Amino acid sequence: MEDPLRIEFNEWAKAGRGESMERGHRPVGEQAIEKMGVQLDAQVLDVGCGSGWAARLLANKARSGRVVGIDISDEMIRVAREASIAFPNLEYRVASAEDLPFENDEFTDAFSMESLYYYADMSRAITQIHRVLKPGGLFVTVVDLYLENEPSHQWIETLKVPVHLLSIPQYSALFVDAGFGEIRTERILDPSPVPEDYIGTSFKSREDYLAYRAAGSLMVSGRKR
Amino acid sequence: MAISQDLLEILACPACKAKVELKPDGSGLKCVECHRVYPIRDDIPVMLIDEATIEDEEPAGNS
């Protein structure tokens, strides 16, 4: 049976939602990537890369290294690839985070933006990411949907696929269980203005949107020992 | 074929984590252990266990 996540994100790709996801996530994603301190010769994995906007930011950092983006949606990977022709150090694979198609100890850094909570078995995915990182390798994830950000909970009923709603301590515990050390959690704020006349689809009201922005995105990072 | 040799070296079978090799006709990546073949569609390797087919050993002396 085809993965429901794949079906859903193929629909998103066909509807052109890769671009709106980039607009929504980039202000925070850029800050997280700056904090990673990616080296010129880094080997970076972007897990759940979608349309590849973060993978391209990472490829600009790891100019003499390599970035591999994976996503369960072949349609997203198609969009990502077409937008990344100018990046010789960036490649894409259709793959599942729960069964990563890489040997052990291959990457110096891993990044995952707004993706982890969609995975049926989050623990397995984080353990797989730990497996493919080299010792000392850094994993940074950013999520907007988490327990302490209450306005984000309204997405759960509108999404067509099941998601996990975890608290900040639960995220930390998943990192500990996967074997990561130096675990840090941090809120990152999106500085871009919220329109006065906001009537978007992500939030029921402008007040909810402002409260969501005030809570911020959650960044969790850990290092393979 | 847009699969770079150095990336092929770090790719592994998502099921058994063994090495994968490009099939001579370029149609897929075959695991050397479990013989699953992962299709390459529009130059993009689809490394999903559900999408793989299992191919028997090629008969000896066929090449």
Question: What tokens were used for A218?
Answer: 């959650």
Which is the CATH superfamily of the domain at A4-224? Vaccinia Virus protein VP39 (3.40.50.150)
Alpha carbon distance A203, A149 (integer Å): 13
CA–CA distance, A216 with B42 (Å, rounded to integer): 39
* Ranges of each domain in chain A: 4-224
* B contact set with A (CB within 8 A): 4, 6-7, 10-15, 17, 19-20, 38, 41-50
Nearest to B11 among A94, A99, A102 (CB): A102
**How confident is the model over A31-68, as pLDDT tens digits?**
999 999 999 999 999 999 999 999 999 999 999 999 99
Do the chains contact at A95 and B48, CB–CB below 8 Å?
yes
Chain B: residue nearest A88 by CA? Answer: B4
pTM over 0.90: yes
Report the distance separating Cα B31 and Cα B17, nearest Å. Answer: 9
ipTM for this model: 0.90
Write down the pLDDT at residue A173.
Answer: 98
* pLDDT on residue B62: 47
pLDDT number for residue A23: 86
Put simply, the answer to whether A2 touches B50 (Cβ < 8 Å) is yes
Residue B24 one-letter amino acid: P
Task: State whether B38 and A99 contact (CB < 8 Å).
Answer: no
What letter does residue A45 receive in the DSSP assignment?
E
pLDDT in tens, A147-161: 999 999 999 999 999
